[in-house]
A and B are shown apart, each in its own frame.
Chain A
Amino acid sequence: MPIPTLSQSLVITLIQCLLVVIFVFVVVPLTVFAERKVLGYLQQRLGSTRVASGHIGITGWMNRGMWKMGRVPVLSYWRGIPGLVADVLKLILKEDILPAKADKFVFFIAPALSMVAAVVVFAAVSFVPGTFFTLPSWFPYVGGLPVSGGIADINVGLLWILGIASVGVYGIVLAGWASNSKYPLLGGLRSAAQMVSYEVPLALSLLAPVVLSASLNFGEMSARMATGLPAWALAPQILGFLLYLTCGFAETNRLPFDMPEAENELVAGFHTEYSGMKFGFFYLAEYINMTVVAALASGFFLGGPWLLPFGLQGLVNPYLPAFLSWFGEPHAIFFVVKIIFILFTYIWVRGTIPRYRYDQVMSVAWKYLIPMTLFNLLLAAAVRCFAV
């Protein structure tokens, strides 16, 4: 296998960045759409059904047929997908209002900070162990070179992820502050307190996989957690998984911890004064953060890109190359399926439970989650000492 020169590897990295950005901007709108639809079906309604060809073409014909039979058409699932494009267009075309008394520079920089911090985290996430695909030989300049499954294969990947994720908090706090308005200020204060508190149990719950896998590199960690332990990491780390997921919900400001934007208390929280694409950036950042949390959860606790737990992966390994030719890279698909499952859990939880009060959120973090994560860490250390 040829060894790429520095400039060639830079080009390859650019290709990877492009792929990750495409992944993010495909997954995020689909999550938004899925949220509408899944919530809709949880709540016995249809979700978004407009802006699509519900009346013309084959779908329209079948839809009409099912309505006539007195049933809700299955295909109405897909109606509303063009609404995603319409949504983005609306955000871009909307008037961008700048409050008169806002701190203009910070007001502008805050959404960008949130968005950038959310996307950049993906640099250290490894989607596929080893090589993702090899570029065809006709490809100019970098033909025949392998493209690995993650952008940056750095040995402090987890630190990078946690560090950058905490930069995202600044976006929210600054947005609340710069708006120079009371509701955003309250939202910003809440998020400052909440996200700083939840970073502690989040980091502690991620420390358990670090202990178990003796690495900080995302790819290595997910490989060792998936192959070195029975039932991926779930058997020894089920507690850790649940704790991590709880903290992840809090870090991404999702129900039941959506304090900073608690719609029914603070109108829209920290982004009350934002409109247009600046608001869109916060919106996107929230969903990208959800994807990041889901990626970490599936990478560390759900076996990452591996299909089967209990050491059964060896059984399917011979068939994976064939699978490859039908579908695409199997590992990437397993990984993405797990991410989607976690994203579904997000929506599911949102449809099921109410919101905590602000002081209760804090007491959950400090009184319950931190002791439990410490206990979980001990558990992981014990597993490490005696089992692995």
Chain B
Amino acid sequence: MFKNEEMEINLGPQHPSTHGVLRVKLRLDGETITHCRPMIGYLHRGVEKICENQTFFQGQVWTDRMDYCSAVANNLGWAEANEKLFGITVPRRAQYIRTMLNEFNRLASHLIWLATHALDIGAMTVFLYAFREREDILDMNEAFCGSRLTTTAFRIGGLREDLPPGFEKMVQKFLAKFPSCLEEYENLLNENRIWKKRTIGVAKLGAEDAIAMGVTGPVLRAAGVPYDIRKAFPYAAYAEMDFEVPTRTEADTYARYLVRMDEMRQSARIIQQCMDGMPEGPVMAKLPKILKAEVNEVYHATEAPKGEIGYYLVGEKGSSNPYRFHVRAPGFINLQSLPKMAEGGLIADIVAAIGTLDIVLGEIDR
């Protein structure tokens, strides 16, 4: 009697909650999503190709600009991949500082995730509370390396400089107040009826699907798989740190929220341990002025806040730039689980799903 049609609608590339220039092509039956295809590439800059035309030292600047919310973690992966390629041993103090800054970066990234995810679901106050703490972390970035967001924090072989004077005080001040800040967010959200209604059972992604699609990071851990590269294949100084890998089994948006909140607590723990056990010594290994590669290839994976970020580097004999460079960006791989999460849900659910995947288009499009 009535004509029944599905409506096709573009979510993005300009949309308040696609976290950048993601475009999702939706087919809607009423408000129910029957078909969902993420379309990417609006922020493609060819980072990998650019890096192949620059020296190993210069490439790091580009890793800042992939996942700009967790530049330090990207730097760490790049530096360690190169160190693996050239067989460089990094001094222990540099390892500790790297670990600490990497965990600070995880906090910053998770805070920005919490902020935007909560804002997507309508809790706008959490947004600004989380940004308040992130500001302190950015201040520390600034104190350490002079820039706040695109840090280029490390060098191949160690660090450019030691920690600035007064840095320890900043860290202790932050660690003293951070647990109460976490409690503040949790007071607003954990037992909030609306928050729970919007997140529990929404955008489910079971362990099998997650593994089949290569999903890593908190999304995988919220499905009950305790896979964390910091534990599984320790790098930097993580082997000496005592921390837990929080997991949940519910595999829904709420579980991912809880996992990330717990991860922030663990990060604070790791930072404390780094501060307590900070060894003395140099922060830079002895390196030649120009790094010339042999024929060699490495794949080095680290646990970025969003999941496994892997750097694949191929060296060419006598060349000072990589022959081939590829990034396994966690956001790119995680994003392919979006249709699985969103199909069958409502429009509001896809917003929650995009938020819970914690995507940054800079690294997806590269």
Question: A354 to B129, Cβ gap below 8 A?
Answer: no
The smallest beta-carbon distance between B292 and chain A, in angstroms, is 51
A255: chain B residues at CB < 8 Å are 122
Query: Contacting chain A: which of B105-113, B279-287, B306-314, B346-354?
Result: B346-354
Question: B197 to A356, Cβ gap below 8 A?
Answer: yes
B132: chain A residues at CB < 8 Å are 44
Report the Cα distance A72→B314, complex, angstroms: 55
A45: chain B residues at CB < 8 Å are 128
Question: A351 to B31, Cβ gap below 8 A?
Answer: no
Interfacial residues of chain B within 167-221, with CB under 8 A of chain A in the complex: 188-189, 192, 194-195, 197-198
Most interface-central of B123, B124, B351 (chain A CB within 10 A): B124
A359 part of interface (Cβ distance < 8 Å)? yes
A243 part of interface (Cβ distance < 8 Å)? no
Question: A267 to B122, Cβ gap below 8 A?
Answer: no
Question: B348 to A42, Cβ gap below 8 A?
Answer: no
Partner of B128 from A44, A265, A356, A357 at Cβ < 8 Å: A44
Interface of B is mostly: helix
Question: B188 to A356, Cβ gap below 8 A?
Answer: no
A266: chain B residues at CB < 8 Å are 347
Question: A357 to B15, Cβ gap below 8 A?
Answer: no
Question: A267 to B16, Cβ gap below 8 A?
Answer: yes
Question: A186-B347, A357-B348, A358-B348 are known contacts. Are A264 and B119 too (CB-CB below 8 A)?
Answer: yes
| Closest A residue, CB atoms, query B350 | A265
A317 part of interface (Cβ distance < 8 Å)? no
Question: B347 to A265, Cβ gap below 8 A?
Answer: yes
Report the Cα distance A278→B16, complex, angstroms: 22
B346: chain A residues at CB < 8 Å are 357-359
Report the Cα distance A44→B7, complex, angstroms: 42
Question: A265 to B17, Cβ gap below 8 A?
Answer: yes
| Closest A residue, CB atoms, query B127 | A43
B197: chain A residues at CB < 8 Å are 356-357, 360
Cβ contacts A234-273/B at 8 Å (1 or 0 each): 0000000000000000000001101000111111000000
The smallest beta-carbon distance between A141 and chain B, in angstroms, is 52
Interface residues of A, count at CB 8 A = 29
Report the Cα distance A182→B128, complex, angstroms: 31
Most interface-central of A256, A264, A267, A350 (chain B CB within 10 A): A264
The smallest beta-carbon distance between A366 and chain B, in angstroms, is 16
Question: A354 to B121, Cβ gap below 8 A?
Answer: yes
A104: chain B residues at CB < 8 Å are none
Question: A43-B128, A264-B17 are known contacts. Are A354 and B348 too (CB-CB below 8 A)?
Answer: no
A353 part of interface (Cβ distance < 8 Å)? yes
B347: chain A residues at CB < 8 Å are 186, 265-266, 358
Interfacial residues of chain B within 121-165, with CB under 8 A of chain A in the complex: 121-125, 127-129, 132
| Closest B residue, CB atoms, query A43 | B128
Report the Cα distance A186→B31, complex, angstroms: 8
A355 part of interface (Cβ distance < 8 Å)? yes
Q: Across the A-B interface, how many residue pairs have beta carbons closer than 8 Å?
A: 80
Report the Cα distance A357→B350, complex, angstroms: 11
A352 part of interface (Cβ distance < 8 Å)? yes
Interfacial residues of chain A within 351-373, with CB under 8 A of chain B in the complex: 351-360
The smallest beta-carbon distance between B18 and chain A, in angstroms, is 10
Question: A354 to B128, Cβ gap below 8 A?
Answer: no
| Closest A residue, CB atoms, query B124 | A351
Report the Cα distance A350→B123, complex, angstroms: 8
B120 part of interface (Cβ distance < 8 Å)? yes
The smallest beta-carbon distance between A273 and chain B, in angstroms, is 14
Question: B7 to A182, Cβ gap below 8 A?
Answer: yes
B195: chain A residues at CB < 8 Å are 353-354
The smallest beta-carbon distance between B168 and chain A, in angstroms, is 24
Report the Cα distance A114→B202, complex, angstroms: 35
Question: B192 to A265, Cβ gap below 8 A?
Answer: no
B327: chain A residues at CB < 8 Å are none
A356: chain B residues at CB < 8 Å are 194, 197-198
Report the Cα distance A360→B120, complex, angstroms: 16
The smallest beta-carbon distance between A254 and chain B, in angstroms, is 11
Question: A256-B122, A354-B123, A357-B197 are known contacts. Are A262 and B348 too (CB-CB below 8 A)?
Answer: yes
Question: B198 to A357, Cβ gap below 8 A?
Answer: yes
The smallest beta-carbon distance between B186 and chain A, in angstroms, is 14
The smallest beta-carbon distance between B364 and chain A, in angstroms, is 20
Report the Cα distance A247→B10, complex, angstroms: 32
Question: B16 to A353, Cβ gap below 8 A?
Answer: no
A39: chain B residues at CB < 8 Å are 124
Question: A262-B348, A265-B347, A265-B351 are known contacts. Are A42 and B17 too (CB-CB below 8 A)?
Answer: no
Question: A353 to B129, Cβ gap below 8 A?
Answer: no
Question: A43 to B17, Cβ gap below 8 A?
Answer: no
Question: A43-B124, A182-B7, A267-B16 are known contacts. Are A357 and B349 too (CB-CB below 8 A)?
Answer: yes
Question: A265 to B348, Cβ gap below 8 A?
Answer: yes
Question: B17 to A44, Cβ gap below 8 A?
Answer: no
The smallest beta-carbon distance between B145 and chain A, in angstroms, is 27
B239 part of interface (Cβ distance < 8 Å)? no
B118 part of interface (Cβ distance < 8 Å)? yes
The smallest beta-carbon distance between B3 and chain A, in angstroms, is 16
Report the Cα distance A262→B349, complex, angstroms: 13
Report the Cα distance A262→B123, complex, angstroms: 12
A-B contact pairs, 30 of them (CB 8 A): A43-B124, A43-B128, A43-B129, A44-B129, A182-B7, A182-B9, A186-B9, A190-B31, A258-B122, A262-B122, A264-B122, A265-B17, A265-B347, A265-B348, A265-B351, A266-B347, A350-B124, A353-B122, A353-B123, A353-B195, A354-B192, A354-B198, A355-B348, A357-B197, A357-B198, A357-B348, A357-B349, A358-B347, A360-B197, A360-B198
Q: Which residues of A does B touch, CB under 8 Å?
A: 39, 42-45, 182-183, 186, 190, 255-256, 258, 262-267, 350-360
Going nearest first, the 7 A-B pairs with the smallest beta carbon separation are: A355-B122, A43-B128, A354-B122, A354-B123, A264-B17, A357-B348, A354-B121
Q: Which residues of B does A touch, CB under 8 Å?
A: 7, 9, 15-17, 31, 118-125, 127-129, 132, 188-189, 192, 194-195, 197-198, 346-349, 351
Taking A43-B125, A256-B194, A264-B16 as given, write out 5 further A-B residue pairs in contact, using a Cβ cutoff of 8 Å, ordered by the A residue number.
A186-B9, A351-B124, A353-B122, A353-B123, A354-B123
